[in-house]
Chain A
């Protein structure tokens, strides 16, 4: 802690305003005061410091500085491997693109763009380019390749696929309970902007009185929040403003509040980037332009801002500070172009994946982040914050570096892509286990549909207003965890429909359009619905303004009541499981009971091994399975045979009951014989005598075989009296030559088994 303080102090000393603040404090102290007598010297200094007017600034600076000094975690080797893999893939694709386009990574613009260069008209020349990489390959890398690798590395659990996140980097994923605590302020008891739409504030329309009250309340709340926000902005202290943002920011204050929270300053970087754009041309520029044209310019709510968004994205890609500023480290291992390229920009396309750039070397592109398809989505909502590039860019850069970069960075840090995906998987498995299993049986997974929600932070999937509300909370809670939580909530919202889907395409269709989702109410319903002891989705409907008729009064008490009023009953997954099936099966739970899993099952332990029955008098259950150990339909890895592992009933519980091969239930055709068994009692002839001469005879005279076979099947001792009676009409004497369905044919006899 002391080290932190020292470091913050050292950073403060480098700032000019610190010395000015010191000077001002000194001046204050020297000024004669009326009540100079009261208090100690330290208090006097404190008072003077407060009066100097610099306190808020110093406080804000220290807060931001402390924030940036959070300790990181160590990467695990397999995540490191994926990180490098990703960068190498990018480099490879870039080189290919460069060859196709006949364009070097960096070149001087043949004709520098000037500001007079027909600003009104759209660009004339048609540039044809393509995306470097799309989200699909990122998805494959994260799920398939990384998992395979991980499974190969750690051979302790050969049967199951490793879960994303926790097992990889050792980072603890929050469970639903912990999320509830962490995001307690999201609970419906608090006043939230973005829950009631404030546009319906006054209404003479005949409507239910409670709805009218709530509406009027929402308008009042909005006013109250705006006033509060304005008060807080006077001496902007980021910590306070972040708490404000947890409950939603009034739209007119959003720009200032975000700016203060992010500590965004107008920098010279933008100027430099603008100059760079006019003179130099990176290979990625056209790719970014294409991306903007495809995503921003095609979106119903963002298309007027395509030029602004283009400028934002290009400026970000030119900003050399981005990779340093990103809080979870650079989103990828940057690609460094050699000195020669940076100097002259020749037709060389030499580059290496390297972590640091040396003297005269540069990242490609300077920000170190190679854009994937859909990258420009990040910039779109910022067009709603400001029309001007100068004000929008610091916000964009700040927000990108703090939060958005985490959404696509592969690293072992907390709250990066891998852990976010892991969190999503864990939450969906907890909240909608049956739907997850159903998808697995369809050979897909929930993450496949939610992946682009997570990576783009829902931009392009939700309307702009909802995104801003969501990002308010992301900023306020200082965590992007809410993005996968919302994704899981959307999945859970549609879980019932998922269960009805029969093909992958149908599932795809289900999740293709989620634009009707209201982000904050859904989050509340997901996180706190079960805490209220009501059906979470009823709550969601209620919050959305659709009041179920009979229950509205009951709900209202919960709704406006204080936090302490709630009674804890069941978790979300409990509610779901209880509703779907009357009796809860083991297979419905997130984690099957320990004793049903190999290799150390209780059953094994309880089974007497050797000592109790030295003469082997009692037959013991043997669960030798006939299929190779470690086999499971989801596991395509070469199996690692470990002696002593036996597959158990619930080893493959993830796959779902339907697709499990029930090898543990199927009896064997052969049995160990014991003298105390039925053979001892002389049931079968062959138990007593050597009958090999009889079989030799049968071999010799095949015509005699029929009756023997008849006798032998299905019971060697021949049909018993009941069977004979049952089958009396089906003997060959009645002409029953054909085998009727449902019967067994034994030689010339048709039998009802």
Chain B
């Protein structure tokens, strides 16, 4: 909703800036609509663009071989998989934790540790996993196996006996069929060689057996985080998000371990359920979730939970900050998958570098449209902003120039996550403020002088 900015700030300029902005877009869903609605021009030219909303393959194949101008932006970082691949994320978090311990920053180390449940990367750390498994077996722990390179819930299974895994490991033929049947899309030149040597990389995690249930059903959260730069780290967190519900009532019976409908909340899985309803899509607004929790639980606990979620996001980004190749052309919109356990602790499940932007319901479309519109406002192609704003549309600054931006110490609410999304009102106010600043700073342009109006 950049209309307000245009009305207030843009009216003082001679030429509408958005008409000169050229974009390319690899997708034909909400993002395309948003780009069009902002008045940007679509271009067919391979290289002459201001913004290219590309897919991940393009980054891997083309990005290294081209030179971009200073004003051009691309929506992925070169090695985003450091954050988005499950095994690499685990590795990075663990390294950051070690580093923090070494530096004697205990709190930070705890922050890193709290990010995700106990995790092992399988072919490499098999022995360590077995040790841990035996330790935990007495508690009746259940583990979950996830293939590293796949998405949408493919290849995920639960187990509680070691035999279920070892048989999997010693059956190379089954493995190969699996591998050839669906080639993992994400693959680099050197990565491919690695994969040939190893068995298919899996991540095994302690399964969250006591998730927070709402209405007896399990859910996970999808939050949106925008990173515009890794050094200095600049993070924006979107206020809205949604909870995705599994269709069936949650139970931890061993008989049900194989039932994907209960344990997986991915829309791609739930879609195949007979009772799946197209209209509502099983998505619940984050604001509703917060409201419900506030009414049923202690509000202090709920505030703490939302603050913790913010921490998880921040620590996961901090852990990859050093590894990530900074590029001023790049920005990235992440979709964070977070689950909540019964004791109100958030657990990071996964980070997606290209969260689904196609919508299945009207409200979903509206929410995603607003999100992407705000992304474009934050990126500020039109040069409206000053760069010191703390909230732009629905995005709140979480971390800027190496400093954490947060509420004052006395604030009642520690996190704006899940609050009411007042983006339109905020943008209007922001626009008025910016227009005032601009008016003060510069003398009025000749076109604004009454009596001599120029076309």
A residues apposed to B, CB below 8 Å: 119-122, 197, 199-208, 211, 219, 222-223, 251-252, 254-255, 297-301, 303-308, 383-387, 464-465, 545-546
In the A-B complex, the 4 residue pairs with the smallest Cβ-Cβ separation, listed nearest first, are A199-B419, A206-B433, A304-B215, A202-B411
Query: Are A300 and B363 interface neighbours, CB within 8 A?
Result: yes
Which partner residue on chain A sits nearest B397 by CB separation?
A204
Instruction: Evaluate whether A121 and B363 lie within 8 angstroms (CB atoms) in the complex, with A300-B280, A305-B215 already known.
Output: no
Is the CB–CB distance between A254 and B422 below 8 Å? no
Q: Give Cα A439–Cα B285 distance, bound, in whole angstroms.
A: 37
From A121, A200, A201, A205, give the contact of B389 (CB < 8 A).
A205
A307→B215 contact, CB < 8 A: yes
Task: Choose one: B253, B284, B407, B413; the contact of A304 (CB below 8 Å).
Answer: B284
Of the A-B pairs whose beta carbons lie under 8 Å apart in the complex, a sample of 18, sorted by A's number, is: A120-B251, A120-B256, A120-B262, A201-B411, A202-B411, A205-B390, A207-B429, A207-B433, A251-B295, A252-B295, A300-B288, A301-B288, A303-B280, A303-B284, A308-B215, A384-B296, A387-B296, A464-B291
Q: Shortest distance in angstroms between A432's beta carbon and chain B's nearest beta carbon?
A: 28
On chain B, the residues within 8 Å of A201 by CB distance are: 411-413
* CB closest chain-A residue, reference B391: A205
B294 touching A307, Cβ below 8 Å: no
| Interface 9-mer from B159-167, B177-185, B242-250 | B242-250
How far is A200 from B297 in the complex, measured between Cα atoms in Å?
Answer: 21
- B279 interface residue, CB < 8 Å from A? yes
List which B379-420 residues lie within 8 A (CB) of chain A: 389-391, 407-408, 411-413, 416, 419-420
A299: chain B residues within 8 A (beta carbon): 280
The B226-244 residues at the A interface (CB cut-off 8 A) are: none
Indicate if B439 sits at the interface (CB-CB under 8 A): no
B391: min CB distance to chain A, Å = 5
**Other-chain residue from A203, A223, A387 in contact with B215 (beta carbon distance below 8 A):** A387
What residues on B are CB-neighbors of A301 within 8 Å? Answer: 284-285, 288
Expressed in whole angstroms, the Cα–Cα distance for A387 and B433 within the complex equals 44
Q: How far is the CA of A119 from the CA of B262 in the complex (A)?
A: 11
User: Are B298 and A252 in contact, CB atoms less than 8 angstroms apart?
Assistant: yes
| B13 CB–A CB distance under 8 Å | no
State whether A384 and B247 are in contact (beta carbons under 8 Å apart), knowing that A205-B426, A206-B433, A546-B425 are contacts in the complex: no
Query: Hey, which chain A residues are within 8 Å of B217, CB to CB?
Result: 304
- Inter-chain contact A252/B294, CB cutoff 8 Å: yes
Complex: A254 Cα to B420 Cα, angstroms? 19
- Within 8 Å CB of A207, what residues of B? 426, 429, 433
Task: Let me know if A307 and B285 touch, CB within 8 A.
Answer: no
Question: Do A387 and B214 contact each other (CB < 8 Å), given the known contacts A122-B248, A199-B420?
Answer: yes
Nearest-neighbor residue (CB-CB) of A385 within chain B? B295
Residue B430 CB within 8 A of the other chain = yes
Apart from A206-B433, A207-B426, what are 5 other A-B pairs with CB-CB below 8 Å? A199-B416, A202-B412, A251-B291, A252-B299, A300-B288
B277 interfacial contact with A, CB 8 Å: yes
The reply to whether A383 and B433 form a contact with Cβ atoms under 8 Å apart is: no
Q: Which residues of A contact B407 (CB under 8 A)?
A: 202
Closest residue of A by beta carbon distance from B392: A205
B282 interfacial by beta-carbon distance below 8 Å: yes
- Residue picked from A201, A297, A304, most chain B C-beta under 10 Å: A304
A255: chain B residues within 8 A (beta carbon): 295-296
| Contact between B429 and A384, CB atoms less than 8 A apart | no
Chain B residue contacts of A545, Cβ below 8 A: 422, 425
Tell me the nearest residue of chain B to A200, going by C-beta: B422
Specify the chain B residue showing the minimal Cβ separation from A383. Answer: B215
Query: Which residues of chain A are within 8 angstroms of B251 by Cβ–Cβ distance?
Result: 119-120
B134 interface hit (Cβ, 8 Å): no
**Residue pair A205, B275 in contact (C-beta under 8 Å):** no
| Residues on B with beta carbons closer than 8 Å to the beta carbon of A122 | 247-248, 275
Q: Are B250 and A120 in contact (CB under 8 A)?
A: yes
In the complex, B202 has a CB within 8 A of chain A: no
Closest-CB distance, B359 to chain A (whole angstroms): 13
| CB-based contact B249/A202 at 8 Å | no
B176 within 8 A of A: no
Closest to A304 in B: B215
Distance between Cα atoms of A306 and B422 in the complex (Å):
29
A636 to B420, CA, bound (A): 52
B279 contacts which chain A residues (CB < 8 A)?
Answer: 298
Minimum Cβ distance to chain B for residue A303 (Å): 6
Q: Which of A222, A252, A297 contacts B277 (CB 8 A)?
A: A297
Q: Check B295–A254 contact: CB distance below 8 A.
A: yes
B219 at the interface (CB under 8 A from A): yes
Question: Could you mark each residue 261-291 of chain B with 1 if its beta carbon is under 8 Å from any beta carbon of chain A, else 0?
Answer: 0100000000000010101101011001001
Q: Across the interface, name the chain B residue whose C-beta is closest to A222.
A: B412
Of the candidates A203, A298, A387, which one forms a contact with B391 in the assembled complex, judged by CB atoms under 8 Å apart? A203
A306 to B40 alpha-carbon distance, docked (Å): 44
**How close is A298's CB to chain B, nearest CB, in angstroms?**
6
* B215 A306 Cβ-Cβ under 8 A: yes
Contacts of A202 in B (CB 8 A): 407-408, 411-413
A251 to B302, CA, bound (A): 12
Given A122-B248, A298-B277: A251 and B285 interface contact (C-beta under 8 Å): no
> B419 to chain A: which residues have CB within 8 Å?
199-200
B216 within 8 A of A: yes
B210 at the interface (CB under 8 A from A): no
Decide: A206 near B291, CB < 8 A? Known: A122-B247, A298-B279, A387-B215.
Answer: no
Taking each of B259, B297, B422, which has the highest tally of chain A beta carbons within 10 Å of its own beta carbon? B422
Bound Cα distance A305, B433 (Å): 43
Instruction: Give bound CA distance, A308 to B213, whole Å.
Output: 13
Asked if B284 contacts A120 (CB within 8 A), the reply is no
Given known contacts A211-B429, A304-B284, A384 and B420 CB-to-CB distance under 8 angstroms: no
Question: Could you say which of B248, B294, B363 contacts A120, with CB atoms under 8 Å apart?
Answer: B248
A215 to B422 alpha-carbon distance, docked (Å): 13
Q: Write out the residue numbers on chain A whose beta carbons fall within 8 Å of the beta carbon of B277.
A: 297-298
Pick from A303, A384, A386: contact of B291, CB below 8 A: A384
Across the interface, name the chain A residue whose C-beta is closest to B421: A199
**B292 in contact (CB, < 8 A):** yes
Contacts known (A120-B249, A121-B248, A306-B215); A464 close to B288, Cβ less than 8 A? yes
| Docked CA distance A264–B291 (Å) | 23
B390 touches A204 (CB 8 A): yes
Minimum distance in angstroms from A222 CB to a CB of chain B: 8
Contact with A along B414-448 (1 / 0, CB 8 A): 00100110100110011011000000000000000
Take A119-B251, A120-B259, A204-B390 as given contacts and tell me if A307 and B216 are in contact as well, using a CB distance cutoff of 8 Å. Answer: yes
In the complex, A465 Cα to B215 Cα: how many Å?
Answer: 18
Q: Is the CB–CB distance between B249 and A119 below 8 Å?
A: yes
State how many angstroms separate the Cβ of A360 from the closest Cβ of chain B: 38
Q: Find the A residue at minimum CB distance from B256.
A: A120
Interface pair A385/B296, CB less than 8 Å apart: yes
Residue in chain A with minimal CB distance to B249: A120
- Residues of chain B within 8 A (CB-CB) of A303 are 245, 280, 282, 284
> Which residues on B sit within 8 Å (CB–CB) of A223?
412
Cβ–Cβ < 8 Å partners of B248 in chain A: 120-122
B216 partner residues in chain A, CB cutoff 8 A: 307-308
Distance in angstroms between the alpha carbons of A197 and B420 in the assembled complex:
8
Within 8 A of A (CB), among B172-221: 214-217, 219
A623 to chain B, nearest CB (A): 59
- Measured between beta carbons, the chain B residues less than 8 angstroms from A308 are 215-216
Question: What separation, in Å, do the CA atoms of A536 and B285 have in the docked complex?
Answer: 32
Q: What is the chain A residue whose CB lies nearest that of B302?
A: A252
Bound CA–CA A211/B430 (angstroms): 13
* Bound Cα distance from A546 to B217, whole angstroms: 39
Partner of A298, one of B280, B422, B429: B280
Give min CB distance, A404 to chain B, whole Å: 19
Nearest A residue to B216 by beta-carbon distance?
A: A307
Distance A200 CA – B412 CA, assembled complex (angstroms): 10
Please, which residues of chain B bring their CB within 8 A of the CB of A211?
429
Q: In the complex, which residues of chain A have a beta carbon less than 8 angstroms from the beta carbon of B250? A: 120
Cα A385 to Cα B293 with chains together (Å): 9
Contact of A219 among B245, B288, B412 (CB under 8 A): B412
Identify the closest chain A residue to B436 (Cβ): A206
Q: Which of A205, A251, A307 contacts B249 (CB 8 A)?
A: A307
